[in-house]
Amino acid sequence: MKSYSYLLSLLALVLPVAIKAQRLATSKLNQLPQVVITPEKTLHIISPEPIQYVDIASSRIRADLPLENIVRLKLAVDSADAEPGHSPFGELGPISIVGDNFIAQYNLQQGSERDEATAPTRINILPRDMAPLDIAGISLSQSQMKQKALEIISRNKPAKAVRKNASAGITMRLNGIYSITDYIFLDLSFTNRTTLKYDPDELRFFIQDKKITKATNVQTIELEPLFALHPLSAFSRSYRNIYVLKKVSFPGSKVLKISLTERQISGRALELKVKYKNLLGADSL
């Protein structure tokens, strides 16, 4: 009987906390930050991360993504607004914006003529308006990857390369390997010792057999970089960039191959093979 009474007392303490937590996990329209929009103005909402998804309740709002982190909104004029006795002002409903690791919501309101001067044309999504998200497969956002990559590239290149290879006057150098959570950061640099500018076509990453013979079937898996600090571009003397890959494991009989090809007819190509033990020795960020 004592244990039964104790259990009831414990439930009496826990249930209100659980119910309160459940209430706090919801968002109500009247609790969302209000944003006034008018037909005469275009509203830009700027996200600190690339935008993955946008949902707009009102069909009167025209929206697009001119850049990966900017939502552009325009309120269409409704013909019913001009009818006598019809009030065009009021709620348009919520807009939900989802980034890599957050969701932000605003309550859109159609403003009147007197709101023209004060209606915003630009809104930055601030931390106070963000609710964190745990999206499967994403533990580092693009902005976080960029921050880490900038930290790496700001350092001087180590005197000794992890791996290096040269061909036709072009040198590929793996300056360092870094790891954080489920990601690998590769610090790559290229040097052109010829008088011809090098115009790269592709830089690709593969897991393949260390030794390839004609009598065996070659198993090759291509890895798509999740992030690159800079776009791949032509260089006359040198080029350095940071690439981010998802962590992988493979047997000692295979290597990570980095392949660089050129656009020109000459087609100068270069490969760099990275051993698994090199990845295991990655520095922590």
- Asked if 129 and 150 sit in the same domain, the reply is no
- What are the pLDDT digits (tens) for 154-208? 988 888 999 999 999 999 999 999 999 889 999 999 999 999 999 999 999 999 9
- Asked if 128 and 46 sit in the same domain, the reply is yes
**Could you tell me the end-to-end alpha-carbon distance of the chain, in angstroms, rounded to an integer?**
56
The one-letter code for the residue type at 51 is: I
Residue 233: pLDDT band with limits 50, 70, 90: very high
- Give the range of the structural domain holding residue 43, as residue numbers without chain letter: 29-138
Tell me the C-alpha distance between 252 and 284, whole Å.
Answer: 22
For 44, half-sphere exposure in the C-beta direction (CA atoms, 13 angstrom radius) is: 9
Mean pLDDT of the chain: 84
Among candidates 226, 190, 188, 224, which has minimal Cα distance to 207?
A: 224
- Asked if 167 and 280 sit in the same domain, the reply is yes
- Asked if 126 and 256 sit in the same domain, the reply is no
Tell me the C-alpha distance between 87 and 161, whole Å.
Answer: 70
**Structural domain includes residue 124:** yes
> In the listed set 138, 169, 187, which residue is the last one of a domain according to the structure?
138
- Asked if 230 and 272 sit in the same domain, the reply is yes
pTM: 0.63
- Asked if 277 and 153 sit in the same domain, the reply is yes
Length of the chain: 285
- Asked if 108 and 45 sit in the same domain, the reply is yes
Count how many domains the chain has: 2
Could you say which DSSP state residue 198 is in? B
- Asked if 244 and 198 sit in the same domain, the reply is yes
- What are the pLDDT digits (tens) for 67-120? 999 999 999 876 555 554 444 567 899 999 998 888 999 999 998 878 888 889
